[in-house]
């Protein structure tokens, strides 16, 4: 199933979870075809462009037009929406994700997840004193490097604290430290709903450089 990006673009909202499928190492580790995630952010003061705020290998955290990513991977992008999440929290989380651009990608964290998701490796690591508190949901420090699937829930938790809201108001993956959240954890979360699947850009209607941003 595919969906014309131009038809649903205006229905994507700031704070939505943008998910790229396609397997890969991250998908395999998380036992889910979701391989990468980012935050949807509207830039209405900037030609009303729809951005994806993300943290990627080789790039770190950055903001790029979502249409450019849909064009690079047609049919592989899905959109998930937080269920019963206050609008104020969604918009603040999107702003935080946008402002986090320029930080580093968490390569050691990706390796840690790979170890923890493998029972044999996890057992061996524990024998050598490798221990992590997975249940600490306090948002990690601002300047700490983050993976894509850590940055999205982290932005929501940071926004919750900034707004003075109780932690229980909304959380995509309760009781799991943001460092160890995988794309699969987010997709499987009952706190999000799939609203658009398999986005594509019609090359005839919207040739390169002419599609909505």
pLDDT digits (tens, 9 = 90+) for 48-69: 899 999 999 899 999 999 999 9
Q: Is the pLDDT of residue 31 over 80?
A: no
Q: Once rounded to an integer, what is the mean pLDDT over residues 126-136?
A: 65
Q: Is the pLDDT of residue 205 over 70?
A: no
Tokens of 131: 């221990």
Triad 21, 23, 29: Cα angle to 5°: 115
Whether the Cβ atoms of residue 151 and residue 54 lie closer than 8 Å to each other: yes
pLDDT tier at 22, thresholds 50, 70, 90: confident
d(CA 134, CA 130): 12
Tokens of 208: 């390169």
Instruction: Supply the DSSP symbol for 169.
Output: G
The percent of residues in the chain predicted with pLDDT above 90, rounded, is 67
pLDDT digits (tens, 9 = 90+) for 103-114: 999 988 877 776
Phi first, then psi, for residue 55 (nearest 5°) are -125, 120
Query: Given this model, what pLDDT does residue 79 score?
Result: 98
Query: Given this model, what pLDDT does residue 209 score?
Result: 57
Q: Once rounded to an integer, what is the mean pLDDT over residues 97-101?
A: 97
Q: Once rounded to an integer, what is the mean pLDDT over residues 138-155?
A: 95
Q: Is the pLDDT of residue 25 over 70?
A: no
Out of 68-72, 79-83, 184-188, 207-211, pick the least confident: 207-211
d(CA 29, CA 116): 9
pLDDT tier at 47, thresholds 50, 70, 90: confident
Whether the Cβ atoms of residue 17 and residue 32 lie closer than 8 Å to each other: no
Q: Is the pLDDT of residue 208 over 80?
A: no
pLDDT digits (tens, 9 = 90+) for 147-197: 999 999 999 999 999 999 999 999 999 989 999 899 999 999 999 999 999
DSSP E strand boundaries for the chain: 3-4, 17-21, 34-43, 49-56, 60-65, 77-82, 192-200
């Amino acid at each position: 199933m595919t969906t014309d990006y131009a038809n649903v673009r205006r229905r994507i909202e700031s704070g939505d979870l943008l998910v790229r499928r396609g397997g890969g190492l991250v998908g395999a580790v998380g036992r889910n075809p979701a391989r990468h995630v980012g935050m949807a952010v509207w830039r209405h003061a900037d030609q009303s462009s729809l951005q994806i705020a993300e943290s990627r290998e080789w790039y770190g955290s950055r903001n790029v037009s979502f249409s450019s990513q849909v064009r690079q991977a047609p049919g592989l992008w899905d959109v998930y929406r937080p269920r019963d999440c206050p609008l104020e929290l969604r918009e603040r989380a999107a702003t935080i994700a946008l402002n986090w651009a320029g930080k580093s990608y968490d390569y050691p964290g990706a390796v840690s997840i790979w170890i923890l998701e493998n029972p044999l490796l996890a057992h061996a690591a524990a024998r050598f004193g490798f221990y992590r508190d997975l249940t600490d949901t306090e948002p990690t420090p601002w300047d700490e490097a983050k993976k894509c699937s850590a940055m999205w829930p982290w932005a929501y938790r940071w926004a919750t604290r900034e707004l003075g809201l109780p932690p229980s108001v909304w959380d995509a993956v309760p009781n799991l430290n943001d460092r160890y959240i995988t794309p699969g954890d987010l997709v499987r979360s009952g706190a999000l709903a799939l609203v658009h699947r398999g986005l594509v850009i019609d090359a005839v209607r919207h040739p390169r450089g002419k599609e909505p941003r």
